[in-house]
Amino acid sequence: MEDAQDDDNAKVGAPAYDSFLDGIRESGSPHVTAIGHSYGSLTVGQATPQPGGIPADDVVLVGSPGVGVDTADLGVGADHVYVGAAENDQVTNLPTPNLLEYVAPGSEYGPKKNWFGTDPADNHFGGHHFSVAPGEDTGLTGLMTGDLPAHSIYFDPVEGGDSLNNIASVVAGHGDKIQTVEPR
C-alpha cells in the first residue's frame, strides 16, 4: 500500500505504458483502449501528457483514486473517456491528503478531490459515466483492514453488474452502447 500513496511509480510507469500502447497501435489494431483500474488509472492519467499524447482512441477508468489531472480530456477528448465507480468502492472515495482541498460530492463549490486529484466519478471531471453494481459495503472497518470487495468487481461478469459489458463495448469501439449513470 505504501507504494500507492504517492504518484512516483505512476510517473515512472507512464512512458512505458505509453510505449506499450504505441506498439499495439503500430501493430495495426483498429481500435485501442487504454484501461486503468485503481492506481493504474493514475498511470493512465500520467501517460496522457507524454510526447504525442496517449496513443489510444478511448480511455476507461475504473476504481480510480484520481488520475492526476482535473478534467477528462486526457489527450483523447472528454467524449472518449469512460468512468466506472462502484458506490461502495472506498478507493474511489479516498479523500485528498490535504483535507482543505476536499469538497463534498455534489458541491457547487467545485470538484470533489480524491487522493490523486479530481475524482473522475465527479460531475466536474467530465467524460461518460457507466453503470457498475454498488458492491459490498464493508465500511470503515473494511477500509482499515483492506477488506474492499467493491474495489474488485469491475471485471467480474456477475458481481460487477453492467461494468464488464460496458468496458467491452468501449473496447469494441461502441462506447455509445454503454449503460450510463449520472456522475456523483
Q: Report the residue count for the chain.
A: 184
The residue-averaged pLDDT of 99-128 equals 73
Q: Is 27 domain-assigned?
A: yes
pLDDT at 127 over 50: yes
Q: Is 183 domain-assigned?
A: no
**Amino acid in position 107:** S
Q: What is the pTM of this model?
A: 0.85
Using alpha carbons, select from 78, 153, 61, 165 the residue that is nearest to residue 114: 61
CB atoms under 10 Å from CB of 21, counted, come to 20
Q: Is 151 domain-assigned?
A: yes
Q: Is 43 domain-assigned?
A: yes
- Cβ atoms of residues 75 and 60 within 8 Å: no
* More reliable by pLDDT, 177 or 53: 177
Cell numbers describing residue 94: 479516498
Domain count, the chain: 1
Q: What percent of the chain has pLDDT over 90?
A: 40
Name the pLDDT band for 34 (thresholds 50, 70, 90). Answer: very high
Q: Is 182 domain-assigned?
A: no
Residue in the block written with cell 507512464: 14
Q: Is 184 domain-assigned?
A: no
pLDDT of residue 50: 66
7: domain CATH number is 3.40.50
Name the pLDDT band for 124 (thresholds 50, 70, 90). Answer: confident
Rounded CA-CA distance 48/74 in Å is 5
Rounded CA-CA distance 39/45 in Å is 10
Q: Which domain holds residue 67?
A: 2-177
